[in-house]
Amino acid sequence: MRFSPSFLDDIRERVPISDVIGRHVTWDRKKTNTSRGDWWACCPFHGEKSPSFHCEDRKGRYHCFGCGVSGDHFKFLTELESLNFPEAVERVADMAGIALPAPDPQAAQRERQRATLEDVMEMAASYFEAELQGPQGARARAYLRDRGLSGRTIAAFRLGYSNDNRSALKEHLASRGVDKEQIEACGLVVHGPEIAVSYDRFRDRIMFPILSSRERVIAFGGRALQPGAPAKYLNSNETELFHKGNVLYNFARARRACGQDGTLIVVEGYMDVIALAQAGIDNVVAPLGTALGENQLKLLWRVTPQPVLCFDGDEAGQRAANRTVDLALPHIGPGRSLRIAVLPAGKDPDDLVRHDGRAPFDQVIASARPLADVVWSREAGSGVFETPESRAELEVKLRQATSLIADESLRRHYQQDMRDRMNAFFGGGPRYNKREQGKSGGGSFGRGGGRGGR
C-alpha cells in the first residue's frame, strides 16, 4: 500500500519519535533533557555501556554516534522489529489515533495533483520575487527599506510584490503552461459563476510566501501598499494545500531554530517574525492574521511543551491574551502549558529590536509568566474585595476557570494553587495592600491591580 507524503508527515508530527523509541530503551537521566525533546540512551542496535544513541522530537530523527544508525519513526521499527514499511506506518498511525487511509484508486492521482499545485505556487512565489526586484517593485522595496529590512532578510523570507495589473500573474502562469483550473485551485485568482473573467487575488501588495512544514509554498499573505485598500493584509483562501487554522507562519524555520533555547515564541504578524529573525531571533512564529486557534496550539506543543505567547501591552493585547487563556485551558496537561509575555505599551517587536538589537525583546521573553499566574491575575488583579460576597465571587470565577482543564490531575493542582493564592491574598486582613498583593502574583499581567482591603 502506498501512503501519501502528507499522511506520513501528519502521523510523524503527531507522535514524538521518543514515544516510538522509548518502548525499547531506557532513557539516560543525566544526558536527557525532556523539556527540549532531547533524548539519550544506550543504543538498541549494538551493545554499549554508555549512551551514544540520540533522538530529537523536534526533528523526528534518531542517530547513534557509536554505530552510525539513523532514521525516522518508520526506519526504527523496520530495522529493530523487522516490520515491513506498511506495518511500521500502521504502528505509528495507531499511536497517533489515526486510521489508515482506505484503498482509493484515485488517491495517487490526488497526490500528483497536490504536487502539481505546489509547483504552481512555487512559480507564483518566484514571479513575485522577480517583480519586487523589477521596475514596478520600487515602491515596495522602499517600504521594506523603511521598515529596516536588509536585502539578505528579504531574500531569506522570499518576499515579493504583486503589481496592480488585474491579470499579470494569471497571464504569466498561463504562459508557463499552467491551466485555468490549476490557477483557480491554488486560490491565486478570484473566480466564480458571477465573475465573467477571473482576476488576480493579490494586487499592489507586498507578498509573504507561507510555507508548509515541508517548506513548500502553500499560500500567500499580501500587505497592501495603498492606504485605502479594503484589507491591509489579505491571505490566500482555503485550498487543497492551505487550511489556515492548521498553519503557522515561519513554522519550519522556527522549529529548527528552537533547539537553541528550547521554545517557540508566538507574535502577532509577518513583519514581527521577520524583524525578529533579522535581529537573530529565529524561533518565532505567527498566526495568519487571526487569533491563535486550537490546532495551532497543538502544533506548537508538538515542538515545545511551553511556548511563549507575546501580546501587546494595551487593552486589545490583554483581551487577546484572555481569549487565548480560555482557549488553552481545556487542552493543557502535565508538561504541556503556555507562558505569556507582554510588550511595553505602544511597542511592537519591530520597535524593540530596530534600534537596540535583540536585548529588549529578550528581556520581555525572560519576564514571561506561567499560565497559572495569568489566570490568577485576570480574576484578582483589578477587583476590590472588601466584602464576603465579592470574595466569594472571586472564588467562583477561579473555580470556573480551572474547571475548564480537562486533565483531572492538573485540574486538581490548579485548584489547589488558586486556593493557596486566595489564602495568601486575603491572609493580610483588612489592611492588605498592593505591596503584599504583588508577592501573590496580583495585577493585570503583573502591572498594578486591585486590593484585598481598604
Express each pLDDT in 275-312 by its tens digit: 999 999 999 999 997 889 999 998 898 888 899 999 98
Residue 239 predicted with pLDDT over 90? yes
The model's pLDDT over 314-362, given as tens digits with 9 standing for 90+, comes to: 888 889 999 999 999 999 998 889 999 999 988 889 889 988 889 999 9
111 burial class (0-12, 13-18, 19+ CB within 10 angstroms)?
middle
According to DSSP, the residues that pair with 63 across neighbouring strands are 54, 70
Count of Cβ atoms closer than 10 Å to residue 188 Cβ? 27
From the centroid of its chain, how far is CA 412? 28
| Residue 8 identity | L
- Average pLDDT score over the chain: 88
Residue 439 predicted with pLDDT over 60? no
Confidence band for 172, pLDDT divided at 50, 70 and 90: very high
C-alpha cell at 186: 491554488
| Residue 174 identity | A
CATH class of 251-367: alpha beta
| Residue 425 identity | F
Burial track 33-55 (b if 16+ CB lie within 10 A, e otherwise): eeebbbbbbbbbbeeeeebbbbb
Rounded CA separation 175/439 (Å): 67
pLDDT of residue 304: 87
Give the residue-averaged pLDDT of 48-54: 91
Confidence band for 104, pLDDT divided at 50, 70 and 90: low
For the chain, the domains span 5-96, 107-242, 251-367, 373-439
The most confident of 31-35, 225-229, 244-248, by mean pLDDT? 244-248
Angle at 185 between CA 175 and CA 293, to 5 degrees: 135
Find the DSSP H helices in 147-293: 151-156, 168-175, 180-185, 251-257, 270-278
Count of Cβ atoms closer than 10 Å to residue 223 Cβ? 21
C-alpha cell at 106: 484515485
Contacts of 307 (CB under 8 A, 6+ apart): 263, 264, 265, 266, 300, 301, 338, 339
Contacts of 201 (CB under 8 A, 6+ apart): 187, 188, 189, 190, 234, 236, 237
Neighbouring C-alpha atoms within 13 Å toward the C-beta of 14: 17
Does CATH place domain 5-96 in 1.20.1050.90? no
Nearest to 266 by CA among 345, 346, 320: 320
Superfamily (CATH H level) for 107-242:
DNA primase, catalytic core, N-terminal domain (3.90.980.10)
Instruction: Kindly report whether the global pTM for this prediction surpasses the value 0.85.
Output: no
Percentage of residues in the chain having pLDDT higher than 90: 66
